Amino acid sequence: MASALVHYTAAAVTDRGRKRSSNEDAFGISVEHGVYLVCDGMGGAAAGEVASSMAVDEMLRLLTSRALAAPLNLAAEEAVRAANEAIFSRSQRNPKLRGMGTTLVGLLVEESRVLVLNIGDSRCYRLRNRTLEQLTADHSLVDELVRMGRMTPADALRSPLRNVITRALGTQKEVAPDIFEHQAEPGDLFLLCSDGLTRELPDSLIESLLAADSSLDELCSRLVSAANKAGGNDNVTCLLVRAA
Ligand code: MG
C-alpha cells in the first residue's frame, strides 16, 4: 500500500492512588496536532502539581502553535527547552516552589512518524502483535546502576534509592530530552505512563491487560484499577494512543 496515512485515537486516566493526598501527575492530549504528554511532578507542598501542569500546558501551547514547516524534532527540542526555562525561572522567583520539577514522557506523531521524548522515569511502551516493548530508558539512579551492571533488576525494584531520578524538567537551567524515532504501524498501541503504574505492575501484566479487545477508555481504567489493587502507593496516569 502506498498510503502512509495513519489515524490515531487516544484516551487517558489519571488517579490519586490509595496513599497520596493529592495528584501531582498531569497529562495532555491534542489528537489534532499529534501531541500526547504525561508528567509526574515533584517538589514540596503543591510544587509538584505546579511543575507537572506547567510542563503540560507549555508543551501543548508550543507544539500546537508551531509553524507547520518546522521539523518535528526541532520543534520538540525547542518546546522542551522553553518549558524547562519557564518552570525553572518560576521556581527561582518563588521560594515555595524552589526545587520543583517534573518528569516528561511525550509522543509526537506526524503521519506514521513517531517521536518519543523522555526526561525522568515516566515511560513509553508500544504493544505490537501482542508484544510489549519499552521504548524509553529511565533516567533513574537504579536504572543507571543496572545498565552499568552494578545492580540487578530485582534489587533495583526494592532499592531505597529507586526514587532518585537523574534527569528532570525544570530543576536546572538546561536539560536535554532523549528523543527516539519510530514508524507507527496500524494496530500499534502506545502507552505513556507514570511510575505509579510501573512500580505496581510487572510488564507481563501490563502486556496482558493491553492485549484485551476493549476501548481505550476501558483499557486505561483497567490499568489504573490494577495498580490501585496492587497497592496504589503513588499517583497513577495512563495515556493510550492507538494507530489505525
Ligand atoms: Mg510518581
Give residue 201's domain range. Answer: 8-243
CATH code where residue 161 lies: 3.60.40.10
Q: Answer whether residue 2 is part of any domain.
A: no
Q: Answer whether residue 150 is part of any domain.
A: yes
Ligand 1 center from residue 236 Cα (angstroms):
7
Q: Answer whether residue 41 is part of any domain.
A: yes
Half-sphere exposure of 66 (CA within 13 A, CB side): 24
How many domains does the chain contain in total? Answer: 1
Q: Answer whether residue 227 is part of any domain.
A: yes
Ligand 1 center from residue 63 Cα (angstroms):
25
Ligand 1 center from residue 5 Cα (angstroms):
35
Ligand 1 center from residue 125 Cα (angstroms):
17
In degrees, rounded to 5, the angle at the alpha carbon of residue 217 between the alpha carbons of residues 214 and 223 is 85
Q: Answer whether residue 153 is part of any domain.
A: yes
Phi then psi for residue 65, to 5 deg, are -110, 5
Its pTM stands at 0.95
Q: Answer whether residue 85 is part of any domain.
A: yes
Ligand 1 center from residue 128 Cα (angstroms):
26
Ligand 1 center from residue 107 Cα (angstroms):
19
Sign of the dihedral through C-alpha 189, 8, 80, 196: negative
Ligand 1 center from residue 212 Cα (angstroms):
26
Q: Find residue 132's DSSP bridge partners.
A: 127
Can you give the pLDDT at residue 135?
A: 98
Q: Answer whether residue 167 is part of any domain.
A: yes
The three grid cell numbers given for residue 244, joined into one nine-digit string: 489505525
Ligand 1 center from residue 7 Cα (angstroms):
30
pLDDT along the chain (244 residues), means of 10: 75 97 97 96 89 97 78 93 97 94 97 96 97 97 93 90 93 96 97 97 97 97 98 97 97
Q: Answer whether residue 3 is part of any domain.
A: no
Can you give the pLDDT at residue 46?
A: 83
Can you give the pLDDT at residue 2?
A: 44
Ligand 1 center from residue 244 Cα (angstroms):
30
